[in-house]
Structure 1
Amino acid sequence: MRSRSCRLVLGTLAIGLAAPLGATLPAPPAGATGTPTPRTGFETSRGARWTSGAEEEEFLTAVDRASARVRIDRIGSTKQGRPIRLVRIGAPAPERPADVRRGNSVLLVCSQHGDEPAGREACLTTVRNLAYSKAPATRRLLEHTNVLVLPTANPDGRAADTRGNSDGVDINRDHLALRTAEARAMAAVLRDYRPDTLYDLHEYGPTAPYYLKDLLSLWPRNLNTADGVHREATALSRDFVDPAVQRAGFSTGVYGIWTDPATGDPVKQVAGDGQERILRNTTGVKGSVGLLVEVRVDPLTAAEKADPALNNRRRVDSQLVALHGAFTFADRHRPRIEAATAAARLAGYTDHGPVYLGGADNEPPGDGEILADPPCAYRLDAAQFTQVKDELALHGVLWKREGDGAVVPLRQSLRALVPLLLDQRAGYHLTVAKPMNVCPRVVGGNG
Structure 2
Amino acid sequence: MPTPARGARPTYRPLALAAVAAVLAVPVATAPSEAVHAPPRTGFESAAGAHWTGAAEERSLLAAVDRHSDRVSVERIGTTKQGRPLRLVRIGGRAPATLTVLLVCGQHGDEPGGREACLTTIRDLGHSTGPRTRAFLSRTEILVLPTANPDGLAAGTRGNSDGMDINRDHIALRTAEARALAAVVRDHEPDVIVDLHEYAATPPYYEKDLYVLWPRNPNTDGRLHEESRLLSEQWVRPAERDAGFSSGHYGIWTDPVTGEPVSQEAGDGQERILRNTAGIKHAVALLAESRTDPLSDAERADPALGRRRRVSTQLAALEGLFRYADERRDRIRAATAGSRAAGFTGRGPVYLGGADNEPAAPDRILADPPCGYRLTADGFAAVGDELALHGVVSRPDGDGVYVSMRQSARKLIPLLLDERATFHLVNGQPDTAC
Establish whether TM, by shorter chain, passes 0.5.
Answer: yes
1:127 has 2:122 as partner: yes
- Is the CA contact (8 Å cut-off) linking 2:299 and 2:306 kept in structure 1? yes
**2:37 alignment partner in structure 1:** 27
**2:4 alignment partner in structure 1:** none
- Is the CA contact (8 Å cut-off) linking 1:399 and 1:409 kept in structure 2? yes
Q: Distance in 1 between matches of 2:386 and 2:287?
A: 24
Shift of 1:7: 8.3
**Match of 1:147, SS?**
strand
**Match of 2:362, SS?**
coil
- Is the CA contact (8 Å cut-off) linking 2:371 and 2:431 kept in structure 1? yes
Shift of 1:305: 1.1
1:317–1:21 CA distance, 2 compared to 1 (3 A): farther
Superimposed CA distance per residue, residues 45-66 of structure 1 (whole angstroms, 9 cap, x where no aligned partner): 0111000001100110010011
- Is the CA contact (8 Å cut-off) linking 1:196 and 1:289 kept in structure 2? yes
- Is the CA contact (8 Å cut-off) linking 1:348 and 1:411 kept in structure 2? yes
Shift of 1:69: 0.7
Output aligned runs, 1:339-418, within 5 Å.
339-418=334-413
Shift of 1:405: 1.5
Q: Distance in 2 between matches of 1:83 and 1:7?
A: 28
1:61–1:134 CA distance, 2 compared to 1 (3 A): same
1:314 has 2:309 as partner: yes
Amino acid at match of 1:27: H
1:162 has 2:157 as partner: yes
**1:64 alignment partner in structure 2:** 66
Q: Distance in 2 between matches of 1:59 and 1:84?
A: 15
Shift of 1:103: 2.2
- Is the CA contact (8 Å cut-off) linking 1:216 and 1:254 kept in structure 2? yes
Amino acid at match of 1:10: V
- Is the CA contact (8 Å cut-off) linking 1:21 and 1:133 kept in structure 2? no
**1:323 alignment partner in structure 2:** 318
Amino acid at match of 2:83: G
- Is the CA contact (8 Å cut-off) linking 2:395 and 2:403 kept in structure 1? yes
**2:23 alignment partner in structure 1:** 10
Superimposed CA distance per residue, residues 246-304 of structure 1 (whole angstroms, 9 cap, x where no aligned partner): 11110000001000011110000011111000001000001100000000011441101
Q: Distance in 2 between matches of 1:21 and 1:153?
A: 35
**Match of 1:149, SS?**
strand
Unaligned runs of 5+ in 1: 29-36, 440-447
Q: What is the TM-score with the length of structure 2 in the denominator?
A: 0.93
**Match of 1:349, SS?**
coil
- Is the CA contact (8 Å cut-off) linking 1:6 and 1:313 kept in structure 2? no
- Is the CA contact (8 Å cut-off) linking 2:65 and 2:123 kept in structure 1? yes
Q: How many residues align?
A: 418
- Is the CA contact (8 Å cut-off) linking 2:172 and 2:425 kept in structure 1? yes
Shift of 1:366: 1.1
1:171–1:345 CA distance, 2 compared to 1 (3 A): same
- Is the CA contact (8 Å cut-off) linking 1:9 and 1:317 kept in structure 2? no
Residue among 231, 234, 237 paired with 1:239: 234
Amino acid at match of 1:423: D
**Match of 2:117, SS?**
helix
Amino acid at match of 1:272: G
Shift of 1:208: 1.1
Superimposed CA distance per residue, residues 170-211 of structure 1 (whole angstroms, 9 cap, x where no aligned partner): 000000000000000000000000000001000000111100
1:137–1:372 CA distance, 2 compared to 1 (3 A): same
1:14–1:399 CA distance, 2 compared to 1 (3 A): farther
Residue among 400, 416, 422 paired with 1:421: 416
Q: Distance in 1 between matches of 2:140 and 2:175?
A: 30
**2:297 alignment partner in structure 1:** 302
Superimposed CA distance per residue, residues 322-375 of structure 1 (whole angstroms, 9 cap, x where no aligned partner): 100000000001001000000000000000110001110000111311000000
**1:33 alignment partner in structure 2:** none
Q: What is the TM-score with the length of structure 1 in the denominator?
A: 0.90
1:20–1:144 CA distance, 2 compared to 1 (3 A): farther
1:405–1:102 CA distance, 2 compared to 1 (3 A): farther
Q: Distance in 1 between matches of 2:78 and 2:19?
A: 35
Shift of 1:116: 0.3
1:237–1:218 CA distance, 2 compared to 1 (3 A): same
Q: Distance in 2 between matches of 1:54 and 1:203?
A: 23
Q: Distance in 1 between matches of 2:80 and 2:103?
A: 19
Percent identity over the alignment? 61
Unaligned runs of 5+ in 2: 1-17
Shift of 1:102: 4.3
- Is the CA contact (8 Å cut-off) linking 1:21 and 1:137 kept in structure 2? no
Q: Distance in 2 between matches of 1:65 and 1:21?
A: 24
Q: Distance in 2 between matches of 1:13 and 1:438?
A: 67
Superimposed CA distance per residue, residues 54-98 of structure 1 (whole angstroms, 9 cap, x where no aligned partner): 11001100100110010111000000000000000005xx4xxxx
**Match of 2:177, SS?**
helix
1:7–1:217 CA distance, 2 compared to 1 (3 A): closer
